[in-house]
Amino acid sequence: MPPIRSVLRRTFLVSHASLRVRAFGLDFANPIGLAAGYDKDGIAIHGLACLGFGHLELGTVTPAPQSGNPRPRVFRLVADEALVNRMGFPNRGGRALARRLGRGRPKDVVIGVNLGKAADTPLDEAGDDYRRLVSMFFGLADYLVLNLSSPNTPGLRRLQDAPALMRLLEEVNQERRQLEAKTGRKVPILAKLSPDLEPRGLQAAVEAIAGAGLEGIIATNTTLSRESLVSAEAAEAGGLSGAPLRGRSTDFLRRIGELTKGSLPVVGVGGVMEATSAREKLEAGACLVQLYTGLVYRGPGLVRDILRDLTADA
């Protein structure tokens, strides 16, 4: 409801010229965004936009609806300030999200859509799913993300291996070139990588992404690592997010910057729980920062608090 949105915006919005960012050809009001997975179907975009985010990344969405993995599939590790999830891309399908975006979207917030292959799509046919989704959202989203790194869709992370990745990116680029020629519009495409990639695998993936002309990398997805956790729920299968991922994801994005000599924009995500961890990502080379688990533990004022801190010295 518009009156409630107005109250929320007055409560949470922080606006300052020093916060503005230009990344992969887009203008952002500030560097703090919502990571994919929080609003898979775009149900809450108007409310979330009132919390002060500079961008919202919707999804992960698949071509057709799918129910995801059996419940329970999300676990709160309170003592570790973390979550474990094994959602498996539950969503209402690409057409449902496209219809919702087509009915209107919040102003002054960049909208990205995170794309994933269906659970029952063979890996050698994954390119078909991504091509369909790129076509579906090319005219609706400001940027698109190829999710190649969720640990909860069997085999998905194998798409990060250089040979498979190069084939996939060529298929996606074929679709993109056709859409650009047809519409005259350019839409940035990024790839989201796993923090569990070994150094040689990361280097090969970054080289493939840069060689294919993608506009950026999101670093990182959740991890399968369970180092130094104390919560009993840490034994649950799935991807770990939150405070324990902070150092690993920051080291990962710093390494990408070294490999590309800063030529490829990197979005930092993983363990952003307060202003200090957001600053850490930016100082490590991230052009933008995303959060998810931080909202669970810090609440809706987290974005405002981070932005106030970032403007304190401006």
Q: What are the pLDDT digits (tens) for 248-295?
A: 999 999 999 999 999 999 999 999 999 999 999 999 999 999 999 999
Total domains in the fold of the chain: 1
- Tell me the pairing of strands 239-242 and 82-85: antiparallel
313 pLDDT higher than 80? no
Q: Please give the pLDDT value at position 245.
A: 98
> Closest Cα to residue 124, out of 153, 155, 102, 152?
155
Please, is 65 exposed, middle or buried when counting C-beta atoms within 10 Å of its C-beta (0-12, 13-18, 19+)? middle
Q: Please give the pLDDT value at position 225.
A: 97
Q: Please give the pLDDT value at position 13.
A: 93
Can you give the CATH number for the domain in which 78 is found?
3.20.20.70
pLDDT band at 55 (very low <50, low <70, confident <90, very high): very high
Average pLDDT of the residues of the chain: 97
314 pLDDT higher than 80? no
Beta bridge partners of 147: 192
CA atoms of 191 and 265, how far apart (whole Å):
11
Mean pLDDT of 26-49: 97
Mean pLDDT of 310-314: 84
Domain ranges, residue 301:
2-311
Please state the pTM of the whole predicted model: 0.97
Beta bridge partners of 216: 190
Q: What angle do CA 242, 150, 23 make, to 5 degrees?
A: 75
Amino acid occupying residue 81 = E
> Closest Cα to residue 51, out of 276, 302, 310?
302
Q: Please give the pLDDT value at position 31.
A: 98
CA atoms of 187 and 26, how far apart (whole Å):
9
10 pLDDT higher than 80? yes
Q: How many Å separate Cα 22 from the centre of its chain?
A: 17
Q: Which residues are catalytic?
A: 150
Task: Please say whether the beta carbons of 62 and 116 come within 8 A.
Answer: yes
DSSP string over 184-222:
-----EEEEE-TT--HHHHHHHHHHHHHTT--EEEE---
pLDDT band at 121 (very low <50, low <70, confident <90, very high): very high
Task: Please say whether the beta carbons of 278 and 308 come within 8 A.
Answer: no
Number of H helices, E strands in the chain: 10, 13
Mean pLDDT of 198-207: 97
